[in-house]
Copies of this chain bind each other. A is one copy, B any other.
Amino acid sequence: MNNGKVLVAQGGGPTAVINQSLVGVVLEARRHPGIERIYGARHGVRGIINEDFYDLTQETSHNLELVAGTPSSALGSTRDKPDLAYCQKIFQVLQAHEIGHFFYIGGNDSSDTVRIVSEQARAAGYPLRSIHIPKTIDNDLVGNDHTPGFPSAARFVAQAFAGANLDNAALPGVYVGVVMGRHAGFLTAASALGKKFPDDGPHLIYLPERVFELEKFLADVRAAYDRHGRCVIAVSEGIHDASGKSIAEQLAKNVERDDHGNVQLSGTGALADLLCDQIKSRLGIKRVRGDTFGYLQRSFIGCVSDVDQREAREVGEKAVQYAMWGDRDGSVAIKRTGFYSVDYELQPLEAVAGKTRVMDDAFINEAGTDVTDAFRLYLRPLLGSGMPDAFRLRRHVVDKRLNP
Contact = CB atoms under 8 A, between A and B. Distances in A.
Interface of A: 10, 13-14, 39-40, 43, 50-51, 53-59, 63, 66-67, 69-79, 92-93, 96-97, 159-160, 162-164, 166-167, 169-171, 175, 194, 254, 256, 266-270, 272-273, 276-277, 280, 286, 288-296, 298-303, 387-398, 400-403
26 contacts: A50-B403, A51-B398, A51-B400, A55-B398, A66-B389, A67-B392, A70-B389, A71-B163, A71-B166, A72-B169, A72-B170, A75-B393, A76-B170, A76-B171, A77-B170, A97-B398, A97-B401, A159-B301, A163-B301, A163-B302, A167-B299, A267-B288, A267-B291, A268-B289, A269-B290, A291-B293
A383 to B, nearest CB: 11
Given A269-B269, A289-B294, A289-B295, A302 B388 contact: yes
Given A54-B394, A291-B293, 19 more contacts: A14-B171, A51-B402, A54-B396, A54-B398, A63-B391, A63-B394, A69-B391, A70-B389, A76-B170, A77-B170, A79-B171, A97-B398, A159-B301, A160-B296, A163-B302, A167-B295, A267-B290, A269-B292, A291-B296
A280 B253 CA distance: 13
6 smallest beta-carbon distances between A and B, as pairs: A269-B269, A267-B289, A72-B166, A291-B294, A167-B299, A163-B299
A301 B388 contact: yes
B295 A402 contact: no
Contact of A70 (B77, B256, B267, B390): B390
Nearest to A43: B170
Nearest to A158: B301
Nearest to A174: B267
Contact of A391 (B67, B277, B286): B67
A169 B391 contact: no
A293 B77 CA distance: 24
B298 A393 contact: no
Contacts of A391: 63, 66-67, 69-70, 74
A159 B270 contact: no
A293 B289 CA distance: 12
Contacts of A393: 40, 54, 56, 59, 63, 67, 74-75
- Counted per complex, copies of this chain come to 2
Interface centre among A171, A270, A298 (most CB of B within 10 A): A171
Contacts of A276: 267-268
Contacts of A53: 397-398
A240 to B, nearest CB: 20
Contacts of A290: 267-269, 294
Nearest to A41: B398
Contacts of A72: 163, 166-167, 169-170
A16 to B, nearest CB: 8
Contacts of A43: 170
B166 A59 contact: no
Contacts of A254: 277, 280
A172 to B, nearest CB: 8
A48 to B, nearest CB: 11
Given A67-B392, A268-B290, A290-B267, A401 B96 contact: yes
A54 B388 CA distance: 25
Nearest to A51: B400
Nearest to A66: B391
A364 to B, nearest CB: 25
A73 B291 CA distance: 20
Nearest to A49: B402
Interface centre among A301, A389, A392 (most CB of B within 10 A): A301
A41 B331 CA distance: 58
